[in-house]
Chain A
Amino acid sequence: MKKEHDKVNKKYGMVVDLDKCTGCGSCMVACMSENNVPFKEDESNKLDSITWMRVYKVSNKKPYPNNEVFYIPRPCQHCGGQHEGHSPCVSVCPATATDYDYTTGIVSQVYTRCFGCRYCMAACPYHARYFNWWDPVWPDGMEKYLSPNVSPRMRGIVEKCSFCFHRYQVAMEEVYGSDDKEALEEGDYQTACTQACPAGAITFGDLNDETHAVHKLKDDKNAFRLLERLGTNTKIYYISEREWVRRAGDNYNPGEKTGSVKYKTEGH
C-alpha cells in the first residue's frame, strides 16, 4: 500500500483564504526579492512591469454604505488542463520553454529556451505571464543581494511564478544528501509568498498528500478557483464565506447559481 502511494505524483497547489487577505502586498514584495524579479524606477505602467504575484483589488461597486472590497493575490495558477499537462501556455509554446512537470504539477519556465514569441502570454487566461522588455538594471550594490538560486532573466523573454521551484530543488537536495531525511515534509518546501503573508491567508502544499493542510482545504465548501468553466483545472484555490466574492471568481450569467460552474477534477 505504501509503495503504491509513493507512485502517485506530487501536485503542489495553494489555497488562499480571501477573508484573511488584507491586501498588504507582502506576498508581492517577498516574491520579487526571492525570485530576482527586475523592476524599474517607474513601475506605474502595469503593462510593462513584472509582478509574478499580483494582488488585485475587487470592489462590489455598490454605493456607500454597502460598498465592500476584497483583495485577491494572483500567482501563476499552474493549470493542469483537462487532462493533466494540457495547460493553455504549455500547449502553445513552440520552443518547449514552458512545460508541465508531472512529478510536481508545476508549470515550468526555462528562460534559456524561451525566445520571446509571447504565445503563452496570449494563451494565459490569468495574465500571469510577463515579458521582459528590458534587461534588468539593479541599483548599485543590489547585485550582491540577489538570490543565488534563481537566475536573472534577460531582455526578450517571458517569465512567471514558478512556485519557488528552486526551493523544491534545494529541499530535494537535502532529501538526497542528508542521512536523516527520507522524504519531503510539508514544511520543507514552502513558497516565499506563503511564508511572508502576515495574515496566514496562504497555505501551500501537496494537494495529493492527505497529511498536507491544502488537501483538506481545497475541498472546503466555500472553495473556488478562477474561471473554472474554462477547464484550466488550476492549482490555486480561493476560499471566502462571502458569496459575492466567490461569484467574482468567474463570469456568471444572471440566474446562474454561485458555484454551479465547478470544474470536476479527476483523481490524479
Chain B
Amino acid sequence: MSTIDEKYQKVVVSPVDEIIGSEKGSSAIILVFFIAGLVASLVVGWVIFPKVLYSQKKQPFDFSHEVHSEQVEECTGCHFFRDDGTFAGVPKLAQCAECHEEVQGDTPNEKVFVEEYVAKEKEVPWLIYSKQPDCVFFSHAAHVKKAEMECKECHGDIGTSKSLKVYEENRLTGISRDVWGKSIGGFKSNTWDSMKMDVCAKCHEKHARQKEKETKHEQKNNYKGACFQCHK
C-alpha cells in the first residue's frame, strides 16, 4: 500500500512543483509559441491563401492603352455607347481592324495581333478585369451619363497604362480579383481599389435616403436600401 502511495505522490506532485518553480520561464515559452502561431496564421491567411485562391492568367497578348490614347482622344472613342444606351465594352476585332489591317510599328505584340487575329478574323479572347458576377446588373449609362462619373473612379489608371496587368481569377467563384480588391482588410486608398457591393451600396444608399426625403411623408423610413437597383 505504502509503495503505491509513494509512487502516486511522485507522479502527481513532482510536475506541480516544477510548474510552480519555473513559472516565469514557461509563460515566456507560451507567449512565444502564441505569437509564432499568430504570425504563422496571418502569413497563411494574408499571403499564402490569396496566392492559392487566385490563379494567374495572362491576356492573349499585351496592349498599351498609352499608345492608343495618343491616337484616340477619349475612352469612349473605343469603348463606346451604342444607340440604345448599352455599353459596348471591350472593342470587337472589326473595330481594331479599321487601323490594324497591316502591321504597324515593330512590337512583337502588334505582329501577334495582326497575324494571329486580324488575318484569321478571330476575335481576341480578352479577359475582362471588371466583369461582374451573374447576379449583378450594371448599367454604364446610368453611372457615366446620368450620374456623370469618371471612368477612372472604377477602372483606375488603366487608360494611361503601358501594359496589361495579370488577370487574377478566383478559383472557387471564377470571378476576377479586381471585383473584390486586393486589400484583405478592406482599406482602400483609391476609389478603384475594390468594387465590392459595399462600395456600390455606399453611394446608392445615400441617393435612396435623398429620395426618401423628397417623397411623401407616409413612405418615409421605409427604404431598407437599394438592393433591387443592381441585383437581378
Query: What residues of chain A lie closer than 8 Å to B145, measured between beta carbons?
Result: 176-177
* CB contact list, A130-175 vs B, under 8 A: 149-152, 165-166, 169, 172-175
A102 touches B139 (CB 8 A): no
* CB contact list, A66-124 vs B, under 8 A: 83-85, 96, 99-103, 106, 108, 110-113
Query: What residues of chain B lie closer than 8 Å to A264, measured between beta carbons?
Result: none
Query: What residues of chain A lie closer than 8 Å to B216, measured between beta carbons?
Result: 268
Task: Find the B residue at minimum CB distance from A174.
Answer: B85
**Given A85-B219, A99-B225, A99-B228: A7 and B214 within 8 A (CB)?**
yes
Query: What residues of chain B lie closer than 8 Å to A175, measured between beta carbons?
Result: 85
B89 to chain A, nearest CB (A): 13
Interface digits, A48-59 against B, CB 8 Å rule (1 contact, 0 not)?
000000000000
A231 to chain B, nearest CB (A): 15
Answer whether residue A178 sits at the interface, using C-beta atoms and an 8 A cutoff: yes
Answer whether residue A258 sits at the interface, using C-beta atoms and an 8 A cutoff: no
Give the residue among A96, A106, A110 with the most B Cβ atoms within 10 A. Answer: A110
A108 touches B228 (CB 8 A): yes
B232 touches A108 (CB 8 A): no
B212 to chain A, nearest CB (A): 8
Q: Give complex CA distance A103, B208 in Å.
A: 10
Task: Find the B residue at minimum CB distance from A171.
Answer: B85
Task: Find the A residue at minimum CB distance from B227.
Answer: A110
Interface digits, A160-199 against B, CB 8 Å rule (1 contact, 0 not)?
0000011001001111111001000000000000000000
Instruction: Contacts A112-B231, A178-B84 known; list 10 others, CB within 8 Å.
Output: A96-B225, A99-B228, A102-B219, A102-B223, A103-B211, A110-B228, A166-B137, A174-B85, A176-B141, A176-B142
16 residue pairs A–B, Cβ–Cβ below 8 Å: A7-B215, A102-B211, A102-B219, A108-B228, A110-B231, A152-B134, A166-B232, A169-B137, A169-B139, A172-B142, A176-B85, A177-B139, A177-B140, A177-B142, A178-B85, A268-B216
Sort A-B residue pairs by CB-CB distance and give the 3 closest, nearest first: A177-B85, A177-B141, A108-B228
